[in-house]
Chain A
Amino acid sequence: MSDSPSGEVVLVRWGEIFLKGGNRAFFERRLAEAARRALAPLEGARIERLHGRLLAWPGPDDPGALRALRALEKVFGVTSLSPARVVERKLEAISAAAVELARGEAARRGRPRFKVETRRSDKRFQPTSPEVSRLVGAAIVGALDLPVDVHTPELTVGVEIGTEHAFVFGSSVPGPGGLPVGVTGRVELLLSGGIDSPVAGWLMLKRGCELGATYFHSFPYTGDHTKEKVIALARKLAAWQLADVRLAVVPFTDAQKKLRDTGDGRLAVVLYRRMMMRVAERIARASKAQALVTGEALAQVASQTLENLTAIGAAATLPILRPCLGHDKLDTIAIAERIGTYETSILPFDDCCSLFVPEHPITKARLDDVLAAESKVDVAAIVDACIAGVETIVCSA
């Protein structure tokens, strides 16, 4: 990262928020709140709202704003970030900063072909944007004799002119995109220690959902190392939520035993999953979540056929969102690696001795068979017992 761009401030840009018409102000406010939470651990750092941009001022311990930049890269809704110089709203000052920036770039990479791009959020500023670009470009040519290339530049010198300051920057880094967390509603994630469910949660966070998580713990068949691993995953999600994740740990062993004892062991996984949906739904409704989220991918394992997903989904009244449904495993792994959950997910403390799962589970569960099996147990009592045993853990980033 020795080439990390540095600056006095970070310009924060967003994208899709513009599409949301009347909600725009609300979305912008949520984005600014999220950015403030992202910067909260950095002493002295602050967010300033500009017209159509956010401006992040780093703290005194963060020269070059590199730490602020890293923190803001986790704010959903942000499309790109640029470390920038802050200069007076005067053409001479802008040109001088642009020349200095281009000089540094020229020293690093020869004679880059360049262009200047200007944006005025304060349209009262004169001259116009194209004219500013032309004048600043001329200053760079005059000082450094760099070749101009407006179509395929190797260096783009950005100029933004706001109401109080102007900004000059040489590069942008991508943000995570998506929407600020919390603008689309709240969901309850069924979180396991595997690779898929943390990614499913992250994808919903990215679409602006606030997240709670439910984990089903089968002690003593699963040890507490697995629980710790799930907590670690919830903490990773908290880092993207920019707020604590409430994790509900549900003791599930008794439920599994009762369901297993209904007879056909090949139905067991479908019966477990249906029970999980019911329990998660109760937890979801209590926290005002509007949907359940799972990491299921179509046909990835036996319980994830269309028939079984249908039988599982029939147990829930809330919608079940499956953002990984169309993923190949490698797609999900690629995201898991990017968001930092993969290394935790592959720790060897998974459902080590899944005693109650048969070698060949049914792939096309018939709802009639499922309902017949469930008629042998008191479903409501099982759900109540699960809810009564819930341990709530607040997971911080």
Chain B
Amino acid sequence: MKIWAIATNTFRAFLRDKVLIVIFIVLICLVLLLMTPLLAYKAITTAQNASSMQGLVLGIVAEVMAMLSGGGSLLAAWAGASSVASEMRSGTIQAVMARPVKRWQFLAGKYLGVLLLMGCYVPLMFGLSYLLAWMGGQHIQAAPWVLIVYPLVRYAVYAAIAILLVTFMHPAVAFAIVLVISVLAGLFAPRAPLAAHLPVWIRGPVYAVLPSTGLLSEDRFLSLTRTSLQHTTWLQHLNALAYGLDYALVCLLFAMWSFHYRSLRRD
């Protein structure tokens, strides 16, 4: 009950967080901007140029979907970092922690609040992707649950890392580090070109430590054409999602441990 109360209050605060509102507005503006060429290409498509135009349309739809997905990562990282930091900065944490609330409960409430936010963002992203594909005359070939659950788990990982970092550093630094981690995770992925040039003794540990967000990317299953649709068994899905949840849980446990020992002073 207490955790849920903190989570819903955190969610309310997010709806008024200026930085989050700006991130959201920028994303919407970019989507609207990219819709212009999409609609233009569709309008000038004829029987003669249909094939090349379809390629352009598909490219734009894929770009927008990637952007929304990446924007969600930014949103999760910032929400995670600011959820705790804003309470410390304003001093509201003191009134809350004077109540019979344990530190881990406070942090769990904050984390749940971030997940609530991302739980609203993901269906929105999912709906926009479908809308764009439909406008481009395409149909997304992937199970809807994959497009919802995979991004949610990925964002849960980013939010947990951000919350862990913000327990001992400034939220802007924590946010930047999460971004660096996400880039490094992509560079060190097993099939990435950079990783192939590195010796195994570097590649292995780095890959093990960084979150394998590529593994949790819905892009693996997302295709606009049925021909390239990948087949994945339930066990493989379960394995990938369990990896993400475990990573998030470990980060959250470290965050709780770190938060337990810090001073709750007004920053």
**Are both chains from one complex?**
no
- Residues of chain B at the chain A interface (Cβ within 8 Å): none
- Residues of chain A at the chain B interface (Cβ within 8 Å): none
